Structure 1
Amino acid sequence: MNGHLEAHLIALCCGKPPAGQERWSVRLLAHSFIQLCYVDQISHKTVWMIVKSNQLKPWLKEQWCIPPKVNAEFVYHMEDVLEVYTRPHNPCFPQVCLDEASSCLLADTREPLPLKPGEPKREDAEYKREGTCSLFLACEPLTGKRVVQVRARRTKADWALFMRDLIDIHYAQAEKIVLVLDTLNTHTPSSFYEVFDPAEAWRLSQKLEVHYARHPWKLVEYG
């Protein structure tokens, strides 16, 4: 294949796949290249070699924060959070990221085979769903400290109760928690007023310095 045809193949690879296809595969590239009448025939192995030599991986994708071209609100929140991340560690004002995730509760349908020398424990591919739960995770990046709670749901009340534990138990000595979190509608000090009396809600709200990261910034990874 000459350089002219290779350039067309690379351009095809960097473009959108056909309708109904989520991403390119080497076989789909080969088929489309023939359909577009660039060549009469080409093997998927040849396509793979060209794609590899140009360091392209069209079958892979990464989630990334792609900002809007013009969005003042996005820029404000970005710079606000970045300023927080430049602050040195201060135990009186710990910097904490908070996020949540849902998780499926799964049960075995058959007894797993136990671990043996040279063989790992083996579980059947079939499972029984036992509902879901919500994971609340607060992470302090500068110290590596993590606080996790498992709750049945993630309502305003669940968030408020988790935050009270974070404030009164895990960071009881802090003057204020510098909290970075996303803009989920439950993530607001007003949630305290849904659960506690006004005096307690006000006390808890004054223990937080809140900084919002705009969706879809992922603050905490669950592993």
Structure 2
Amino acid sequence: MWCVKEIDNEYRKRMYKILKLYSEPYNPKYPIICFDEKHKQLISDVKNKIPMKPGSPEKYDYEYKRNGTANIFVAVDFKGGERDITVTDRRTKKDFALYIKHLVNNVFPEAKKLRIIMDNLNTHTYRSILETFEFNEAVELISKLTFYYTPKHASWLNIAEIEINAMDTQCTGRRIINKKLLINETTAYKNNRNKNKCKIKWNFTKNDADKKLSKYYINI
């Protein structure tokens, strides 16, 4: 937010729409899903770690070996306390489309429509779905979706960022050697959070935005 010097009408329009969604009471038939993705470099140690012991944290050498990269898709129903985390090799249009289908069919199968908040990455489009699936299947899938895009330079509006920060703190913010271990670790994190129905409370409202950000508004 601090890098934005001016907030135009389009920024406010998108911001207000998302803040209005966040203020709605929870409806499991029309859940608000915050979606994002995280790039993860897979790294192994060159030298053995010194294990943690009472009064001393784990220590490891600055040298490491690169073992490729992975992508982590994160979707969180922050009011229902449900999230999904899926590891993929890449984050192409096809990967995005397949993941959205996974959310609709497997993660939230009882929902009539998913209202998904995400950033403006060029793969995050209905077109990605149309290009991946046969036309009738794509149209059926799209009918169960509404995409909402954050303003540019407004990742702070996406609650998925909060979930990713929690995931980094508890799970992925360390060296992970390969994709298999990354899947095991993120699955354990997800299962624990879902079992405990961990929700995220959002308190920032439209009134708060106008009070704190109005000095940056232009074209009012």
TM-score by length of 1: 0.67
- After TM superposition, list the pairs within 5 Å mapping 1:164-175 onto structure 2: 164-175=101-112
Deviation at 1:65? 6.8
1:129 to 66, 84, 89: 66
In structure 1, what is the equivalent of residue 36 of structure 2? 99
Q: Which has the higher helix share?
A: 2
In structure 2, what is the equivalent of residue 88 of structure 1? 25
Q: Is 2:82 the partner of 1:145?
A: yes
Q: Deviations over 1:46-87 (max 9, x none)?
A: xxxxxxxxxxxxxxxxx5473624x22212211211111111
Deviation at 1:156? 0.5
- Which stretch of the first structure deviates more once superposed, 168-177 or 142-151? 142-151
Q: Deviations over 1:158-213 (max 9, x none)?
A: 10111111110000000001111111111111111221111111111111122111
Alpha-carbon distance in 1 for matches of 2:38, 2:2: 18
- Note if contact 1:107-1:129 (Cα within 8 Å) is conserved in structure 2: yes
Q: Secondary structure at the match of 2:21?
A: helix
Count of aligned pairs: 160
2:6 to 55, 68, 75: 68
In structure 2, what is the equivalent of residue 214 of structure 1? 151
In structure 1, what is the equivalent of residue 15 of structure 2? 78
- Note if contact 1:92-1:175 (Cα within 8 Å) is conserved in structure 2: yes
Question: Relative to 1, partners in 2 of residues 1:67 and 1:167: Cα closer, same or farther, differing over 3 Å?
Answer: farther
Q: Secondary structure at the match of 1:133?
A: strand
- After TM superposition, list the pairs within 5 Å mapping 1:41-56 onto structure 2: none
Root-mean-square deviation (Å): 1.7
Deviation at 1:146? 1.5
TM-score by length of 2: 0.68
In structure 1, what is the equivalent of residue 125 of structure 2? 188
Q: Secondary structure at the match of 2:29?
A: coil
Q: Is 2:47 the partner of 1:110?
A: yes
- Note if contact 2:28-2:80 (Cα within 8 Å) is conserved in structure 1: no
- Note if contact 2:44-2:67 (Cα within 8 Å) is conserved in structure 1: yes
Amino acid across the alignment from 1:66: V
1:163 to 78, 81, 100: 100
Alpha-carbon distance in 2 for matches of 1:158, 1:186: 9
Amino acid across the alignment from 1:162: Y
1:176 to 109, 113, 122: 113
Deviation at 1:140? 1.5
Amino acid across the alignment from 2:12: V
Alpha-carbon distance in 2 for matches of 1:177, 1:99: 15
Alpha-carbon distance in 1 for matches of 2:30, 2:132: 25
Deviation at 1:90? 0.3
Q: Deviations over 1:133-167 (max 9, x none)?
A: 11111111212322111111111011011111111
Structure 1: 5+ residue stretches without partners:
1-62
Question: Relative to 1, partners in 2 of residues 1:119 and 1:208: Cα closer, same or farther, differing over 3 Å?
Answer: same
